Structure 1
């Protein structure tokens, strides 16, 4: 698998992240592009989990805001698409909202 492909696959759910991570670890060439996008992708996955928990609790308390939280829950999907576009261009730009927070946080 090429470095560009590994960077793109990293954004496709947690299973894609695991496949890209295992391919990255197995490869002889440890590309900084793949490492960067693996980090950004795991940040999106963790953000999605936290957002899901928080919105579930808040919708349980305030059911009238369910539509608003449904729209907000699309945010990780949009971030994933932005990450895929960035990875396909072979660029290393942080994802909006959370990209700067996760840069350098994970030792991959």
Structure 2
């Protein structure tokens, strides 16, 4: 699997695992960068969805407005895929800077 493909898969949720394990020993700086950004996006999306689910259970009338928050994560995922396809190391809007130096286990081959 080439680095560009790994970078694109890094933003597709569960396919992040395929990008990570399919790239053992063949990661370059581009794929490592996008694996970090993709994993960060996945973690933030899961945490936000858990918090929103609890909030919606407590206040059901907020269900429709709060469910639109998931669209933000879809847009961020699309931004990440576009950056990966263009082979650009650009952080995701809003949350990308948080994950540029995180997840040090990705540096190991």
TM-score, length-scaled by structure 2: 0.90
Aligned residue in 2 for 1:39: 36
Q: Using the alignment, how far apart are the partners of 1:73 and 1:10 within structure 2?
A: 18
Cα drift, residue 23 of structure 1: 2.2
Asked if residue 83 in structure 1 is aligned to residue 77 in structure 2, the reply is: no
| 2:93 partner SS | coil
1:13-65 deviations in Å (ceiling 9; x for gaps):
22x111111122232xx310000000000011001111111101111121111
Q: How many residues align?
A: 105
Q: Using the alignment, how far apart are the partners of 1:11 and 1:24 within structure 2?
A: 15
Return 5+ residue gaps in structure 1 as ranges.
Answer: none
TM-score, length-scaled by structure 1: 0.91
Q: Using the alignment, how far apart are the partners of 1:80 and 1:39 within structure 2?
A: 13
Aligned residue in 1 for 2:18: 19
Asked if residue 71 in structure 1 is aligned to residue 107 in structure 2, the reply is: no
